[in-house]
Amino acid sequence: MTQTVPSGIDEIGLLPGSHVCAFYRGDHDRDRLLHRYLSAGLVAGDKCICVVDSAFTAKRLQSLTRASSEAGYSTGQLDIHLPESTYLAGGEFTASDMLTFWTEGMIKAQHEGYSFCRLAGEMTWALRDAPGVENLVGYESELNRVTSSYPVVVLCLYDLDLFSGEVVINIVKTHPQVLVQGILVENPYSVGPDEFLRSSRI
Amino acid sequence: MTAEPTAPDNVAALAGPPVAATDENLRERLGEFRALLVISLLMTESVSEDQILDLAASSAPGLGRWRIDGYSFTDGQWRPGTGPASPLPGGLAGQGASPSRCGGRAGCSAT
């Protein structure tokens, strides 16, 4: 399958397997991106799995998406999680556990009859003082391997008001596509998982 | 295309020894250029001078082994940057003012 799917954001189409990072400023901008991205998935009949940073955001997102996509929305189509049960389950970040979480979610969706998945992660949890968060860049690189094997698009959300430019630089290096200012910037030089492992061993 | 690192004698070697221009290194540089493109786009949507400066200053460590000591403005002003306070390298403020408004090379003596 090589046709693009609508991202829901600024008429941007994404190829299956896309792993996109998006930069935004503040809660309003985050909600706008997530709302449009997930609503497009719900209307298309995709399984949507999303991790947001607070219960408040989860509740607001649930109501936003429900209101805007009643025509295509079905119970269980949208799963919203918090970092405590995903990225930081057990009080620490373990990249392999998180990759397993996404993979199992996609396999379960396939068993439930969904032919396409739409994943999203608000990455603000990485600023918490928890063990393992220093492995974020390696995780992002490894996620490229997962996304290339499934009918899925992934959106990783980074708040520019919270993350430093150095993190932005490193995150861009590991994402094949970057969404900024309504423009999808292709990054053909993104660091793949094998390359990242090689460089981190040096 | 050859890419030999060259620098005037008076430029401090903050970025370490020269690195051979292998395919992998060149690809890494191209990846950094792409990251710079994104940083530039983010700067254009920034609503204040402070946001732009913060982004520029905090991005620098992601691109090499250097730090921001301060900012030189085209009106001749010098403002200290982020990080621990340190004495200004001799003559840097003056040299920072020498490039044209479109930028240019500025040399600084190693301290």
- Contacts A–B by Cβ distance under 8 A: 68
Backbone dihedral region for residue A76 (phi beyond 0: left; psi -120 to 50: alpha; all else: beta): left
> For residue A68, what pLDDT is reported?
61
Tell me yes or no: is domain A5-201 CATH 3.40.50.1820: no
pLDDT in tens, A82-116: 999 999 999 999 999 999 999 999 999 999 999 99
> For residue B77, what pLDDT is reported?
72
Judged by CB atoms closer than 8 Å, whether chains meet at B55 and A170 is answered as no
> Where do the domains of chain A lie?
5-201
| pTM for the full predicted model | 0.81
3-state DSSP call for residue B18? coil
Q: Is A178 a residue whose pLDDT tops 60?
A: yes
Residue that has been written with the tokens 């913060």 in this structure: B54
Higher-confidence residue of B84 and A145: namely A145
Tell whether A127 lies on the interface with B, counting CB pairs under 8 A: no
Calculate how close chain B gets to A117, using CA atoms only, in Å: 27
3-state DSSP call for residue B36? helix
User: For residue A23, which residues of chain B lie inside 8 Å, CB to CB?
Assistant: 38, 42
Judged by CB atoms closer than 8 Å, whether chains meet at A185 and B41 is answered as yes
- No. of H helices and E strands in chain B? 3, 2
Residue that has been written with the tokens 């290194």 in this structure: B25
Least confident of A132-136, A169-173, B67-71, B79-83: B79-83
Kindly write down the DSSP assignment for every residue of B53-88, as one continuous string: HHHHHHHGGGTSS----EEE-TTS-EEE-SSS--PP
Tell which B residues from 61 to 90 touch A, by Cβ distance under 8 Å. Answer: 61-63
Least confident of A26-30, A31-35, A164-168, A191-195: A191-195
Higher-confidence residue of B102 and A45: namely A45
Are A173 and A40 a contacting pair, CB within 8 Å? no
Q: Is A171 a residue whose pLDDT tops 50?
A: yes
3-state DSSP call for residue B95? helix
Higher-confidence residue of B26 and A194: namely B26
Least confident of A53-62, A179-188, B35-44, B69-78: B69-78
> For residue B97, what pLDDT is reported?
52
Residue of chain A whose Cα is closest to the Cα of B34: A187
> For residue A191, what pLDDT is reported?
81
Give the contacts of B66 (CB within 8 A, at least 6 positions apart): B14, B15, B60
Tell whether B60 lies on the interface with A, counting CB pairs under 8 A: yes
| One pLDDT digit (tens) per residue for chain B, 111 residues | 333 334 444 344 444 555 566 777 888 888 889 999 999 999 998 888 888 888 888 898 888 877 777 777 767 677 776 555 555 555 655 565 555 555 655 555 444
Q: Is A163 a residue whose pLDDT tops 70?
A: yes
Percent of chain A with pLDDT over 70: 93
